[in-house]
Copies of this chain bind each other. A is one copy, B any other.
Amino acid sequence: MSTERDRPPDLDPRENHLLAALSDRELSRIGPSLEQVRLPRPTELEGANEPVEFVYFPTSGVASIVSIDEGGETVDTAMIGREGMTGLSVFLGTGQSPMRTIVQVPLTGLRMRAAVLSDELERGGTLRALLQRHTQVVMVTMAQLILCNRIHLLDQRAARWLLQVDERVEEAPFSVTQDFLAQMIGVQRPALSVAMRQFKAAGLVKYSRGQISIADRGGLLARSCGCIRIIASEAGRLRGTLKREDTGR
């Protein structure tokens, strides 16, 4: 909700991968429209069926697109970190969606008014191509999660989630409670607690009262489902196509 301004605003826009892929000219054009933010969990970035006011380019931390039930149940559908941008509905021209977007792991980054993004897209620069590919990554992530939520076990999904967050945060212990995590992956907290205790006992993670850090990525990968590899490989492929096709334009 509130933008904390305690610390000096000193974020490098290029820590966000989308902004980093822009040309100097494009970045300096939109630069003045970018505002630095530092947001705690669980700040709401977009409400369900409400017009998107700002799009966010994270530099560290995780935002998360959340589906909502008629009964009010929520499940995490996609993570957005420094590789991407929140507010895809703005890019898709509709400006809102029935999902919420919230801060899942305390987030730093830059934000921009939705209208400014729309204007920039009208110019048809690199950003459109970047966001097209980002849209595909998000879609692939979602598609894989549909399968994952249906047939993979709780501990596999938990391991995957931890790894995916770890890729997107700057420093070691990141801030998430088990209670919140359980909601995100759509399980009961006690069930998740058991899995986390096992991870801890196996030396894969360390945590205490909402501060988690990964101790053994390889070990977690072994316990995780293959979805993480499928998603990572697609993201990698699309990074490749961007370099080849768009840098030269």
Interface residues of A (CB under 8 A from B): 65, 67-71, 73-78, 88-89, 91-94, 97-99, 129, 132-133, 135-136, 138-140, 142-147, 149-151, 186, 225-226, 229-230, 233-234, 237-238, 241
Chain B residues with CB below 8 A from A136, complex form: 88-89, 92-94, 97
Residue of B nearest to A233 (CB): B98
Highest count of chain B CB atoms <10 Å: which of A92, A99, A132: A92
Chain B residues with CB below 8 A from A234, complex form: 97-98
Across the interface, do B145 and A70 meet the contact criterion of CB distance under 8 Å?
Answer: no
CA distance A237 to B95 in the complex (A): 12
**A92 touches which of B132, B142, B144 (Cβ 8 Å):** B132
Across the interface, do B150 and A186 meet the contact criterion of CB distance under 8 Å?
Answer: yes
Rounded to whole Å, the gap between the CB of A138 and the closest CB of chain B is 7
Rounded to whole Å, the gap between the CB of A244 and the closest CB of chain B is 12
Given A89-B136, A92-B133, A139-B88, A147 and B230 contact (CB-CB distance below 8 Å)? no
CA distance A237 to B98 in the complex (A): 11
CA distance A92 to B143 in the complex (A): 16
CA distance A68 to B148 in the complex (A): 10
Given A70-B229, A186-B151, A65 and B98 contact (CB-CB distance below 8 Å)? no
Assuming A71-B226, A93-B136, A139-B142, what are 10 further A-B pairs, CB within 8 angstroms? Answer: A69-B226, A70-B230, A75-B150, A77-B143, A92-B132, A93-B133, A94-B237, A139-B139, A142-B143, A142-B146
